[in-house]
Chains A and B, each alone.
Chain A
Amino acid sequence: MKERTTEAGDFTACNVKNNVRLLSWVFAWVVTLVLADKAELYEWHSSAFISIAAIVINAAIGLGVIVVFMRHLKGLDELQRKIQLDALALSMGVGLVGSFTYSLLVTAKFVIDAEVTDIILLMTLTYVVGVIVGQVRYR
């Protein structure tokens, strides 16, 4: 059993490693997103080439985040994966329904200055709540 405990250490260590890798990629993606956005907003440059390069780099890192997240899911055990997938399904459902409701509110002029980031924020918060609920349920 001692050897197996070491294996568990490996499993946990592998999970921690995957988490750190995922967080690093997400951090890089957010930084490049903010830089690309602010550069345009505050006119840090006037080169179309730099603008396109910043967008392409951000999109490429975004694709990397997707790949790393899929690897992260594969590295989890079946209960952890279930918690993640339940949270993702909830987030997607709320995002889909929420975006149509939001669209109707905008059409009916109940909402002014609608931003796509509102829906992204809603989906992110729903995902976080879903993960917390899952962790508590299977504690």
Chain B
Amino acid sequence: MKNRLKVLRAERDWTQAELAAALKVSRQTINAIEKGKFDPSLPLAFKAARLFELSIEDIFQDEVTP
């Protein structure tokens, strides 16, 4: 699963620690999601979507190509 977390975070000039704080997770989790090493749960994805005021699909995309 691809995601635009790093880009969205950079646009808002937030650090990983600040984003982690907003989502109430560890900085390690944000780093792992940004690097594509870890896919977040649906509740965490919804939380991120609410924070960035976007839809989940605007942040996370399926990597499967037709």
B14 cross-chain contacts in A, Cβ below 8 A: 1
Give complex CA distance A18, B18 in Å. Answer: 22
Chief secondary structure at chain B's binding surface:
helix
- Counting CB contacts under 8 A, is A11 at the interface? yes
Minimal Cβ-Cβ distance residue in A for B18: A1
Contacts of B28 in A (CB 8 A): 79-80, 138-139
Contact at B22–A79, with CB atoms within 8 Å? no
Q: Which of B14, B20, B27, B41 has the most CB of A within 10 A?
A: B20
Report Cα–Cα, A8/B44, bound state, in Å: 15
Decide yes or no whether A46 CB sits under 8 A from chain B: no
CA of A104 to CA of B24 in the docked complex: distance in angstroms? Answer: 48
Between B21, B22, B32, B41, the greatest number of chain A beta carbons within 10 A of the residue's beta carbon is seen for B21
Per the bound structure, the CA–CA distance linking A138 and B30 in Å amounts to 10
Query: A-B pairs with CB below 8 Å: how many?
Result: 55
Assess whether A1 is in contact with B22, with CB atoms less than 8 Å apart: yes
Interchain Cβ contacts under 8 Å between A and B, 29 examples: A1-B18, A1-B21, A4-B18, A5-B18, A6-B21, A7-B24, A8-B18, A8-B20, A8-B24, A8-B27, A9-B21, A11-B20, A11-B24, A11-B25, A11-B26, A12-B26, A15-B26, A77-B26, A78-B25, A79-B25, A79-B26, A79-B28, A79-B29, A82-B38, A137-B37, A138-B28, A138-B32, A138-B37, A139-B28
Interface residues of B (CB under 8 A from A): 14, 17-18, 20-22, 24-29, 31-32, 37-38, 40-41, 44
